[in-house]
Structure 1
């Protein structure tokens, strides 16, 4: 079973759109376990998404850096032995926890000098007009051009 950690967005609209990524990941790997690290207010929303195994409360507020706390959260998550992390926010600080957790594959769009923190950086985010397309594109292999027939949000 593939274990996936998603670093979720901090905004309700973006969180709703992120479900399209979770659906695509489940299509590609039906037995995968998807956990989402997100603000506590997201939990009621995430528990209604059948693709999500666990909603993990992010104790830091949007915009807080707090490097030591991010290290501690990553260290706690290390025991879950995730195989892959998808980092949806563009900030460098959002990439720290999966890095500290030792997750071997860390995927996300280029942004805020995240080189080294992410090891599967996607460069062509502007090729996708809509945020939901950008989220779903992360599920596909780097360099693979995909065309959606219809995205379900």
Structure 2
């Protein structure tokens, strides 16, 4: 979008909480908190900004409803979920949804000729920002370490069994002497406790970092091993070594775009 409209202001709508990440942008970051505003109400709040075009990336009905309520003249997204009438340009999928990478689908809203390899997600992570985040952590990271992220939304169907993480941790420590850091949300604390049990080289920091701190830690890790989750995509955006474990979801659709994966 930035290349297509080089002279235009391009604002981004983010879910509240993601604004702490160093996301490259040109324009304003507008936060949407679903706990405070409905999609329709939030859309109405955009009317006074006089936008010309709204690219609707999520495939949900509510996202298209948000765009419709904004009354922005051009509302572009994919058809489906009974939302075509809400969009001024409801594009049909040329191939079955999920049979190509999600990034390719997004790029298709602009042009089918765009090469996905040229537009892999990136994060602008600077040394001072990383240092600030690490200094704010409640713990100090070791010089060399591997990160495990055992959690994933939608539960066990997307999660590698904790026993496998535990065994892999033992093997990595035996072979390379690595310390293992377990990272995730408060919901992952129990899994982390099971993985770390009786292994003093495994440290369970699930629920003890902010999203920004987690990203900063990933910039220093030798490797990330995790499920199809947000941390997987963060490591991919850093282009650092990672192993992504897929269960019920498809790597064809949401796999990391990372030459080091």
Same fold (TM over 0.5): yes
1:59 match: 33
Q: Per the alignment, do residues 147 and 89 of structure 1 end up closer, same or farther by CA in structure 2, a change over 3 Å counting?
A: closer
Tell me, yes or no, if the aligned pair for 2:107 and 2:114 is still in contact at 8 Å.
no
1:99 to 1:150, Cα distance in 2 relative to 1, 3 A: same
Q: Counterpart of 1:150?
A: 117
**Backbone CA RMSD of aligned residues:** 2.3
Contact 1:125 1:134 in 2 (8 A): no
Q: Distance in 1 between matches of 2:33 and 2:116?
A: 37
TM-superposition CA deviations, 1:99-131 (whole Å, max 9, x none):
111111111111201121111111125367111
Greater Rg over alpha carbons, structure: 2
Q: TM-score, normalised by structure 2?
A: 0.41
Tell me how far apart the structure 2 counterparts of residues 126 and 42 of structure 1 sit (CA, whole Å).
31
- Corresponding residue for residue 108 of structure 2: 137
- Distance 1:148-1:40 versus aligned 2 partners, 3 A rule: same
Contact 2:43/2:68 (CA < 8 Å) preserved in 1? yes
Query: Unaligned stretches of 5+ in structure 2?
Result: 121-261
**Aligned structure 1 segments of 4 or more residues deviating by more than 6 angstroms:** none
Change (3 A) 1:152 1:32: same
TM-score for both structures, normalised by structure 1: 0.67
Superposed, 1:3-152 pairs within 5 Å as 25-45=1-21, 47-49=22-24, 51-60=25-34, 69-124=38-93, 126=95, 129-140=100-111, 145-146=112-113, 148=115, 150-152=117-119
The higher relative CO (CA closer than 8 Å, separation ≥ 6) is in 1
CA contact (8 A) 1:87 1:95 kept: yes
Structure 1 residue runs of 5 or longer lacking an equivalent are 1-24
Compare the two structures and name the one with the higher strand fraction: 1
Whether contact under 8 Å (1:109, 1:125) holds in the other structure is: no
Q: What is the aligned length?
A: 118
Deviation at 1:94, TM superposition (A): 0.9
> Is the Cα–Cα contact under 8 Å of residues 108 and 114 in structure 2 kept in the other structure?
no
CA deviation after TM superposition for structure 1 residue 27, in Å: 1.2
